[in-house]
C-alpha cells in the first residue's frame, strides 16, 4: 500500500539524518511527523532527526468525494449506489444525504440515505435507499449528494457538509453546467395554497372513508404544506374531529389532486357531522384556517354515515344467543329418564 512505501522512504531519510515529513494518509502510530498545512488546519511542529517524538500525527479532515454513483427508481424508493473516498487522515463519519432540486434549483426535499464511515486515506462503496413520493420524484430536475457530520442531520443549517457536493440528473448522469445554482427554499405561507373540489366518500356501509381534494400553489415560489380536514357538528363550526389528510411540495402555480384515507377517533361521529373543511398550510392541523386561506367548506353527503357493520353484527349475535337459549326450555320431566 502507499502508506508502507511512504514509511520506507521516510525511514531512509531518518537514517541519513534528515528531517522526516509525512504526507496525508499516514497511520497514527508513525513517529516524527509533520502534516502539510491546509486552510483551516493547525500547523504541526517539525521534529528534528534525533529528537524525541513529540506525539501522534495530527488528523487532517478533508471533504469526502462521491464517485461511481448509480441512481435507480424502485417505487416508492430511490436506490443509490455510490463510492466515498476520504482524502484526509481523519475518519469520515456521518450521514449520506440526497437532496431533490426543481427546475429553479430550489430544494424540494432532503432525504437521509444512510450512515457512512470511511477511514482516512481509504474509500468504501455504499448502497442505500430513501422513500420519495411520485409527486416529488416527478418534479425533480436534478439531485445533489452530500454528507453531514455524525452529530448533525441532513436538514441541518447550522453545520456544513463534510463532502464535496455532487449534482446529478435523476437518471444518475452528470448535471449540465447551465443548471440554476441550488438555492434555499422560501418559507411557505398559508396564502400560498388554494384548496378546491373537496368531497368525502364511504365504501358501502363500512368504516372505510376517504377525502379527495385539489390543492394549488398560487405563489411564485415552491411551497411545502400539509392538508387538514376538520369535521363540524353545528352551524357555528365547532370542531368534532380533525385529521391530517396528506402533504405536498408544489412548484409555482402547480396543482395536484389527492385522495387520502380518513380515520376519526370515533366513527359514530359521522352521523353527527354536518359540514367539513379542508385547508392547507405549512403545518396542517397545527395551524388554524387563515383568513387569507379559509380552505374549502362543504356539507357532508347524505349517504355518508357511521358504519353499520357493527350494529348488524350486534343484532346477529343477539339472535344467535336467542337460538342457543331456546333448548333450555325443552327440559325432560323429573320422572323421565333420558339417554
pLDDT per residue as tens digits for the range 219-237: 988 888 999 999 998 755 6
CATH number corresponding to 190-309: 2.60.40.3020
Q: What is the pLDDT of residue 25?
A: 38
In the chain, domain spans: 1-59, 65-168, 190-309
For 155, half-sphere exposure in the C-beta direction (CA atoms, 13 angstrom radius) is: 5
Say which CATH topology domain 65-168 has. Immunoglobulin-like (2.60.40)
**Domain 65-168 shares a fold with domain 190-309:** yes
CB atoms within 10 A of CB 321: 10
What burial class does residue 217 get, using C-beta atoms within 10 Å of its C-beta: 0-12 exposed, 13-18 middle, 19+ buried? Answer: buried
Q: The dihedral of CA 241, 244, 246, 248: what is its sign?
A: positive
The pTM of this model reads 0.57
Each residue's pLDDT tens digit, 143-165: 999 999 988 889 887 789 999 99
For 170-200, write each residue's pLDDT tens digit: 999 999 988 988 877 788 898 999 999 999 9
Residue 169 reports pLDDT greater than 50: yes
* Cβ burial 219-230 (10 Å sphere, 16+ → b, else e): bebbbbbbbbbb
pLDDT in tens, 124-139: 999 999 999 898 899 8
Number of helices (H), then strands (E), belonging to the chain: the values are 3, 14
Q: How far apart are CA 257 and CA 67, in angstroms?
A: 38
In contact, 287 and 186? CB cutoff 8 Å: no
**Residue 120 pLDDT greater than 60, yes or no:** yes
Amino acid at each position: 500500500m502507499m502508506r508502507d512505501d511512504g514509511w520506507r522512504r521516510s525511514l531512509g531519510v531518518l537514517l541519513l539524518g534528515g528531517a522526516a515529513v509525512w504526507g496525508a494518509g499516514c497511520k497514527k502510530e508513525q513517529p516524527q511527523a509533520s502534516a502539510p498545512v491546509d486552510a483551516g488546519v493547525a500547523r504541526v511542529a517539525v521534529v528534528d532527526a534525533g529528537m524525541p517524538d513529540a506525539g501522534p500525527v495530527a488528523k487532517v479532515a478533508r471533504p469526502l468525494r462521491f464517485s461511481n454513483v448509480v441512481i435507480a427508481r424502485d417505487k416508492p424508493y430511490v436506490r443509490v449506489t455510490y463510492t466515498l473516498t476520504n482524502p484526509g487522515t481523519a475518519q469520515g463519519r456521518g450521514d449520506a444525504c440526497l437532496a431533490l432540486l426543481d427546475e429553479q434549483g430550489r430544494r424540494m426535499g432532503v432525504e437521509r440515505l444512510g450512515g457512512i464511515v470511511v477511514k482516512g486515506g481509504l474509500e468504501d462503496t455504499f448502497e442505500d435507499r430513501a422513500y420519495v413520493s411520485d409527486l416529488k420524484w416527478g418534479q425533480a430536475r436534478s439531485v445533489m449528494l452530500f454528507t453531514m457530520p455524525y452529530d448533525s442531520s441532513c436538514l441541518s443549517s447550522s453545520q456544513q457538509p463534510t463532502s464535496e457536493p455532487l449534482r446529478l440528473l435523476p437518471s444518475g448522469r452528470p448535471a449540465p453546467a447551465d443548471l440554476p445554482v441550488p438555492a434555499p427554499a422560501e418559507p411557505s405561507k398559508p396564502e400560498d395554497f388554494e384548496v378546491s373540489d373537496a368531497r368525502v366518500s364511504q365504501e358501502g356501509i363500512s368504516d372505510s372513508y376517504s377525502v379527495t381534494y385539489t390543492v394549488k400553489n398560487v405563489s411564485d415560489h415552491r411551497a411545502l404544506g400539509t392538508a387538514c380536514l376538520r369535521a363540524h357538528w353545528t352551524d357555528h363550526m365547532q370542531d368534532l374531529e380533525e385529521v391530517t389528510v396528506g402533504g405536498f411540495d408544489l412548484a409555482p402555480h402547480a396543482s395536484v389532486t389527492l385522495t387520502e384515507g380518513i380515520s376519526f377517533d370515533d366513527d359514530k361521529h359521522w352521523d353527527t357531522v354536518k359540514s367539513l373543511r379542508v385547508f392547507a398550510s405549512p403545518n396542517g392541523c397545527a395551524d388554524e384556517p387563515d383568513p387569507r386561506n379559509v380552505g374549502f367548506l362543504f356539507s357532508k353527503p347524505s349517504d355518508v354515515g357511521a358504519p353499520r357493520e357493527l350494529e348488524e353484527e350486534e343484532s346477529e349475535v343477539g339472535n344467535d344467543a336467542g337460538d342457543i337459549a331456546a333448548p333450555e326450555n325443552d327440559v325432560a320431566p323429573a320422572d323421565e329418564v333420558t339417554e
